Structure 1
Amino acid sequence: MAAPDQPAPAATGGIARRLRRVFRRIGPWRMAITLAFLALAIFIARYSWEKVPIAADIERMLYDIRATSTAPLAEQDDRIVMVVFNDQTLIETGRRSPLDRVTLAKALAKLDRMGARAIGIDILIDQATPEDAGLVAAFKAMRTPTRLAFVSAATNPDYVEYGQEEFLRAFQKSIAGGAVEPASVLLESDLTDNVIRSWPNQPASLPPLLANALTPVHPEFRNYTGAVRFRAPLDPERPVFAKLPIQLFTGDFPEDVLRQQIAGRYVLIGGDIFDVDQFETPATRIRGGTTIGLEIHANMLAQLLDGALYRGVPGWILWAAAILVVVMGGLTSMLDVRPWLLGLILLAQIALILLIPYWAQASGIDTQHLPVFGWIAGWFLAFAAVGTAARAVGSEQRRFAQSALGRYLPRDVASLILRDPDQLALHGEKREIYALFTDLEGFTKLSHAIAPEMVATLLNRYLDMLSDIVLRHGGTIDKFVGDAVVAFWGAPIARPDDADRAVMAAIAMYEAGEEFRRSVPEGVPPIGRTRVGLHFGEAIVGNFGGEGRIQYTALGDSMNAAARLESANKQLGTAALVSEAVVRRTSAVPFRPMGRVTVRGRSTPFAIFEPVPHLDGAVVTSLTASVARFDQGETAALAELERYAADHPEDVAVANLIYRLRKVGPGGNFVLD
């Protein structure tokens, strides 16, 4: 009867024997590397939510899936009702910004008579209008506890200027002493992806947040910054919060009919306008669409009324979990069992890692900072590191890896592959990369005019210069096509500063090309400029070509777009062109806009920019502003560009830009040959 218990001791003893054997064979330097990988695995398993690029985005997506799939189902909440200015209101009132205050004043008067428990207004009164006197009178006449929106320039500098804050304070001072008091309507989205997942910080310099200001229950929410509890409707046709257009409260619609919708409820007034005050939440990120700010305040108010305070996960638990998953991964790689059993063990552990966060989220635990992807990545990294050490990878594999990639990859990437030669397997993966193309203008024609030996000398020297720049900036050399260099950043490993590295490399390559032109031997005809194109996008990256001859390369539209940008330099009078996708991800140098273009092979136009590290910042700002105003329809801005071009006749790129803008008009795009 004891037979079933025998495999466990045997397996445990097998692991111990293998560990001792590994320690003897691995040697001190490989042991140090393995321990470094395990330390990295623990770091990723602990900090992938906050400090690991790409992984942080995945963590947030996993959280959004958890939060949405475990969101409590609810009937329509009979405690809260939203009264909204919608697009139809704007049409009927003929006012868009600021919202019509006559409508607001009339609605407040009627709502005050209907017996609302409290009224919260998510509308900023931050500028003067002729109707202010009537609105002030309406506020002073209120008997229902009313909380009026307030924000400060210090806490919300992107949307509120100091003058607006001053008007807000003056207006609220003018209605002080009655039933109306200020309330903060500050919402804070996640800086990485602009999704609202948590209650905002509530500094003492601001009045209480709207939800806190409307009711005294559960004062502990005054300092709460955990997850917002977004509920899902039990009936898709019946939303969690009723939404009534404000027009119902300004016309002749009978009050008795509306009273049952208002009496005893918290009434939230705000906008439900197509392109204003719209936010992403975990649910909208998964299902699409956006949520109005007023509805987010309604969710927070309902959460407060229910006392649904999510519990955070203590830091020591996160550390313990990170260490545990790394130990599990390392020990699993040491198991000497059949492959199918190892597969089952692996699947069981990964399933456990994925299911625990779902259980925690459904149990009222805030899993925002639970590094689920980090646990899995740390597990696999430990599995690979310990397993690789246990197998004691041979020197022949290392030499093969070095010969295949050492000339085309930066040192740290080559070292990574040396430690894990399995990465040389023939496969491809979709990655976001920074693709760079260069070309030496006129070199093909030059090669027919000089001796072949000189062609080889010049070309080898030129390619060495550009290759060193790519590797020095951490890029991967894809290939050489004649005098053209193709490179990319973001694979096989990605760095948080890949955008900066790629941009600085592009500039350095152009400058190296200029130095190369100046230093050619006597008797060699003049050599043209080095042109550079840089684009960010998806590509299929991997080893291709067959088992006998492989090449690590990138394929796809992003590579084609970079090539089109490189060739566009000749037509536009520039030396380096960078797509808007790159500019959005770097602040390494100033860029000036070169308009919006459509290139061959791409139907969608996109904005392009020229890096100008040596141009005065004020000039760059002025040119950028002029182009932006012209693009918005202010054709007079073109005159500013023309004045700049007249003062700088040597700036061919700006003259070309003016020609294209005049041809396509505001908002247009130029089709490149």
Structure 2
Amino acid sequence: MGALARHWTRIAVTLIPLLIALLHASGALPLAALDRLDNVLYDARLRATMPRTMDERIVIVDIDEKSLAEVGRWPWGRNRMAELTDELFDRQQVALAGFDVVFAEPDDSSGLKRLRALAQGELKDAPGFAGRIDQLAGSLDYDAVFARSLQKKPAVLGYYFSSDRGGGTSGVLTEPVMKREDLRGRPIRFTAWNGYGSNIEPIAKAAPMAGFFNPIIDVDGVVRAVPLLAEYGDQYYESLSLAMFRMLVGLPTVEPGFPRDRFLGRGYQGLESVVLRLGQKTMGIPVDDRVSALVPFRGPGGVSGGSFRYVSAGDLVARRLPPGSLKGKIVLVGTTAPGLQDLRSTPMSETYPGVETHANMISGLLDNRLAVRPDYAIGYDVVVLLLAGLVLAFALPLLTAPKAVAVSLGVLAAVVGLNLWLFLGAGLVMPLAAALSMVLTAFALNMSYGYFIESRSKRELANLFGTYVPPELVDEMVKDPDSYSMTATNKELTVMFCDMRGFTKMSEKMEPVQLQELLNAVFNRLTDIIRDNRGTIDKYMGDCVMAFWGAPVETSEHAHLAVKSSMEMADAVRKINEEHREKGLPEIGVGIGLNTGMMCVGDMGSQVRRSYTVIGDAVNLGSRLEGLSKAYGVDIVVSESTRQLAKDFAWQELDRVRVKGKEQAVAIFWPVAPADRLEKPQQDELKTWAALLKAYRAQDWDNCEVLLLNLQRMNPKKFLYELYNERVASMKLLPFDPAWDGATNFETK
């Protein structure tokens, strides 16, 4: 509880997305973006789980482009439709035919109407003309011909509902399957229309079973569901697919299925199902709050989609199929021709045949395979949000970042897994977008809040160390800020002193501002090299920079990094001089001294001014070595202790020296190159030099002269060889001294 109390702000931040998600789920603050995301997630689940197999029971008779080219443009004469109907029922022996088209206007294509007008007008006195017209009327009245082909056949016609200001109607509407009084006064959200376009009376009377073929088009223009029942004039009518299914199973009556009292759905006033009753048998078809059912798409759709067999209507009219090819099949007559405008945007495709939507519905009804958004979906969403949100809110603030990621992924997997299990196992389409967004947003806010808290620690450390330490080291320090402080302590470190040569003379010839710009430019480049190699800047002293390695962040490679930095700094100065020569600016030199040893490091100074620095005898030696670089004509002088730790470099021993303030002589070295880059001539030169030093310390001056001659041939411009040549020449004049240790004494700083 104490830990939770310390993190109450972070908990509150994590609860913000939970609150927003709950407001959306409950309908108090509907968010269109989450609704769209739910649709996208549903489409993805549907495409991933659809069977992609063909239903052999259902055949689509397609009024396709081929049929239109053979038979003629749509609408066809009713005599052609009669031929098609007779072929289906008489010759092919189909079990049921449904028409996803509407016959809303009389067919006058036979000319019968004109002939009767002539019989009553211009040709009324023509003997036998009117009688002959009456004899031909039975075959020329194409509507009657089509009606006769439909009589006493298991056929279901289609029609459509519409909504407009005038509420226009045409044709004969079928009988409703349910009336308002059947609903017991419940305010159910039926899809409602105020107009319709149905079949003309002769055809409607011949096939009294009919259903509307309107789908439900979501706000994104996609068809995902069809209403099983729709409202018109306080009465309720069935869809084409429901009407065909009812005819298949013996024409059961249609009743409302009211929800059972349950915890999650308590108080729900809609329908839970549409109940079909046939004697003592009942079947409940699950519906959502709009009394619609989600289309159980089987596959991609179309002629090549593999879900249903397509047969060209032209082939049937021309009787190209062998008799009985469609025996016992459920047939839907519709179109895929683009010009007839029955292509829909669905989760499967943007141009999905509307007739196949009904085929999918019939297939799902036959298999009892209809997914549904249940009446208690809102309650489910609220419960899942509360459980997942509270777990995240009270767990994430107490966990490290890796564990917080693991917990968030676990909660996310549980939410998605439960949703998929309900979808696959029970056909329940539960909302997912709100929970998914809440989990991701809660995690992001929690991590962001934690990041800003860590940033505060980083700023506190930066205030202490940012002036001295590279940002990447501060990043390491912030992971465990309690381990770092400015309290003085003794550590083995490597210190560097770097002095610019030639600035004194330059200051006499250059303007102060110009000199300042030049010095700052040089220091910027050298400082970048030190920071890139994890060095800590101690201070700038005129034309000298002091740095050290190994504190505040410990590293066992402090000597290696210091030597690497010094060599890169020397190379940088050479490049700077090339630039200066091109610009006509004076050249500069550099002297660098490195030493490794025990030093006192910490925050030191007065109350007025303090700094994070190193002090000690090892620091003083580093300063002395920097001063020796000029005496030996090299840019870097390194102590024995540093050389022993930096084993990745090839070294040339310069001398043994006894500096001011030190009684014991120390060996000093110059880094030639990284050990893996040493070339053969350099190796030979170092071997000769080692022999020279051995002869020098043995006071074998004749051998020294020979070896120096060879060294000067190898590297004529090297000042070190000239220095030793002068020493040998002067010491050759002195008698042999058995007490001499070969060291050179320096009394100046």
Give the shorter-chain TM-score range: 0.3 to 0.5
Q: Give the strand-richer structure, 1 or 2.
A: 2
